Amino acid sequence: MTVAEVLERGQTDPAAAHVFTRTYAADALAAARAADAAAPGPERPLAGLPVTIKDLFDVAGETTLSGTSVRRGLPAAEADAVVVARLRRSGAAITGRTNMVEYAFGGVGLNPHLGTPRNPADPDVARVPGGSSSGAAVSVGLGLAVAAVGSDTAGSVRIPAALCGLVGFKPTQRRVPLTGAVELSRSLDSVGPIAHSVADCLTLDAVLADDPLDVAARPLSGMRLAAATTLVLDDLEPAVATAYERALRILADAGASVEEVPLPQLGRIAELNQPAGLSPIECYAAHGELVRSRHDEVDPRVWQRMAPGHGISAADYLAIQDRRARWIAETERALAPFDAVLCPTVPIVAPAIAELEASDEAYFAANRLLLRNPFVVSWLDGCAFSLPCHAPGELPVGLMVAGPRGTDARVAEVALAAELALAAR
């Protein structure tokens, strides 16, 4: 599908409703024409390819809304976000900004003001896409982009990738600059791609980081993989449990050493992250005063999660950071013998939109479950892929392949090998 066809479909296909908050037809067509006219080269790996960006990355001359009308009227960005500038330099045809949860603060994907993009994986039931990079995943799932750039604070790339049957990559935070991205949590935010394959995610990651990972093709045979059991297997829906257990068997049959490992450290995260939690504290510090005066214009569920960050003392905040640093060091030692750690990306399949719109209780229960497993890796400052591991005809289920900070290349090697084995079966 050409860039022109993608742009037209994005405007006319009912399935694309609520995917974009803004489109860039003229710029995207110009990038496509420039790619057609130029000789291909390694310095422009995305030349002419349609790519979308989440609505929290600055574009010069525009006010970045981060999914909320509260930011309308704020000063326009003076420059592109670093990742947007790198996409342009790579030749990408940026077709539009994608919808998201307000301020990226939620794992479900609902936006009551801008609408909620429908998960493309189920033609019969309108299901949530996952968040907060909701429109990003749906743009790829519908074929409106070959890849999307999202942000991932507690799973905001991996959750929608898992629920929509796609591949998502959360790199180690320091890998991709956050300059020009509206923050949720400066300690946890990272920038990552959503695409149809690990290889496509790595191509986009190389552009975003301006540094390709040194990834070698390795067989699963000889890899040592830890299947975590503490916390991450709690409350699995039957469909997720079945797909996950099948995926572990496939990897073991392909030669990997898959070992159940308790990792009791995972059960302590909630306690260590008190009071309030890093995300609410840092989000309120960045946006709370603006939102507090106009919180009736914000999704009340987002405000309910942000508000506890108000009034936390500097001593309490620094204590969380110190506890986290000690926990990371302890957990890295536990993971050192393994090539990667495995778990379900999320413990449930995508719920119906109507269910969660109608009930705060159902919404917050689903939100907690969706964020739980991905947040483990974010708290670790680690890196992770979510890979589809469901069978044809089943609702999407994600397999998370993760590792400590700085092990992005090794985790990518495991993800490539796992993807190949899962596809073969």
Category of 268 on φ-ψ map: left (φ > 0), alpha (ψ -120 to 50) or beta: alpha
**Rounded CA gap, 399 and 384, in Å?**
10
3-state helix, strand, coil in the chain (%, to 5): 45, 15, 40
Residue whose token pair is 């799973």: 155
- The sheet with strand 191-195 has its strands ordered as 20-23, 93-98, 50-54, 147-151, 191-195, 167-170, 383-388, 398-403, 340-344, 224-228, 257-261
From the number of C-beta atoms within 10 Å of its C-beta (0-12, 13-18, 19+), residue 7 rates as: buried
Residue whose token pair is 């989000």: 283
> CA–CA distance from 13 to each of 7, 16, 94 (Å)?
10, 5, 19
Cα 288–chain centre separation? 23
Q: Which positions are annotated as active-site residues?
A: 54, 132, 156
Facing residues of 224 across strands? 257
Q: CB neighbours of 29 closer than 8 A, spacing ≥ 6?
A: 3, 4, 7, 93
- Which two three-digit tokens encode residue 254? 């392909």
Q: What spatial distance separates the first Cα and last Cα of the chain, rounded to whole Å?
A: 29
> Are 369 and 260 within 8 A, CB to CB?
no
CA torsion 312→315→321→322, rounded to 10°? -150
HSE-CB of 418 using CA atoms within 13 angstroms: 36
Cβ neighbours, 10 Å, residue 38: 12
- Which two three-digit tokens encode residue 179? 């300059």
At 202, the amino acid letter reads: L
**Rounded CA gap, 355 and 388, in Å?**
24
HSE-CB of 65 using CA atoms within 13 angstroms: 21
